[in-house]
A and B are shown apart, each in its own frame.
Chain A
Amino acid sequence: MNSDPSPSFEDIVEQYYRGLFQFALSLTGAEAEACDLTQQTFFIWAKKGAQLREASKVKSWLFTTLHREFLQVRRRQTRFPHVEIESVAAEIPALASTVINALDGATVLATLQQVDELFQAPLALFYLEDLPYKDIAEVLGVPVGTVQSRIARGKVQLAGLLQTKEANRG
């Protein structure tokens, strides 16, 4: 008897739909579109998920699928250049956690939408999901060094935008 039953569709929805929705929302900025992407991801899971033999890969499979669907919708045919991690950390503006805490979730999400589109998906996965870098690289289809470079650069932009937002509030 197998003591490790495969999770049901309901289990997988329960476990991942929030994270997938939040990832989709961070990519699209629109709730309806994020819902569509989440639904489409589970459609594809229901149809093709049986091909996945490793239960441990479900999470990255779902996020990979959602990201692919997003790119397809966006008609992003051009491949982004792959760059290795570069020195960018020193440029990150100083931003106190208290400043961030003063903002609401919708504002931070809207600010993430203003970051260069190239950096949005890596940043969203960095903040929302505790995935190892190799899994984030798999989801996005780029090398690990590129992922880290985009996250570091995206953080610079995001911190700058949040800082500006806070300054405008004050």
Chain B
Amino acid sequence: MDNEKLRDLLAVYRPGIDDQDDQFAEFITVLRNDPALQLQLNDRVARDHAIAAKLRSVQPPGDLKARLLSDRSTIDMPANFWRPPQWLSIAAAIIMLGVAAYWLSQTRQTTFPMYRTAMAQFVATEYPLDAHDHDLDSLQQTFAAKQWPATYVVPAGLQTLEVEGGCLREWQGKKVALLCFETKETGDVWLFVVDRQVTADVPVGPDPQIARAGKITTASWTQGEYTYILATENPEVPIQRYF
């Protein structure tokens, strides 16, 4: 091993972490027989540990953990369903879910924040468009043909963006029309339209109420028979510009 290679590995080798990494095998052998190299390594590791300790000393805000756990309570899907699928456990799970779903349908109070969070989560990950259409009128006709919310009003600012298409969603048995917009400048912007009866606590009136759901910024309002959520992922563009 030449000196250059030795210096390179000396810069990145971490005792205890990289010992089983094959690329360091020869270096470790050399190290064992070279006290000067060991001193250099010790010096470097001490510096690394000092920097790491400083970076680790910066703690998250005291309420972050509570916020994360609180977010979880509004997410419907189970996170710990890891075990390999076995017919017995799956069957049992299905029965339990059926019972739970019935029980929840009888007792669970759905809220507008739950709806808003579910919609934000949907667009935060990849999803297919049910209709690719760059024309707002044509898209509206598609929704109408499917008997989905279709007599909505798109805010004036949003009409200046190019529409990509739409999705037909359902939440708690309610039909949700999703219009997807995108520009290079603003990134993705979405408009959700649902019957104003979706929950009992929908925003009252046409004044948008701003709220965050993860990285998604939302503005919600009610107008006519529908409740709307306008959502954007670009924090640098004020959401008010879409109205």
Contact = CB atoms under 8 A, between A and B. Distances in A.
A6 interface: yes
B134 interface: no
Contacts of B67: 35, 39
Contacts of A75: 187
A50 to B, nearest CB: 4
Contacts of B46: 97
Nearest to B43: A97
Contact of A14 (B52, B61, B65, B72): B65
Contacts of B60: 17-18, 21-22, 34-35, 38
Given A38-B68, A101-B50, A130-B17, A6 B55 contact: no
B21 interface: yes
What interface size band does chain A fall in?
Answer: 35 or more
Contacts of A40: 124, 214-215
Contacts of B64: 17, 21, 35, 38-39
A90 interface: yes
A124 B78 CA distance: 31
* Residue among B17, B49, B51, B71 facing the most chain A CB atoms (10 A cut-off): B51
Interface residues of B, number: 51
Nearest to A105: B57
Interface of B: 4, 7-8, 10-12, 14, 17-18, 21, 23, 46-52, 54-61, 64-65, 67-69, 71-72, 75, 77-84, 121, 124-125, 187, 212, 214-215, 233, 235
24 contacts: A9-B79, A13-B68, A13-B69, A14-B65, A17-B64, A22-B60, A35-B60, A37-B215, A38-B68, A40-B124, A43-B75, A43-B124, A47-B77, A53-B82, A72-B233, A73-B235, A86-B8, A95-B47, A105-B55, A108-B55, A127-B51, A133-B12, A134-B21, A159-B47
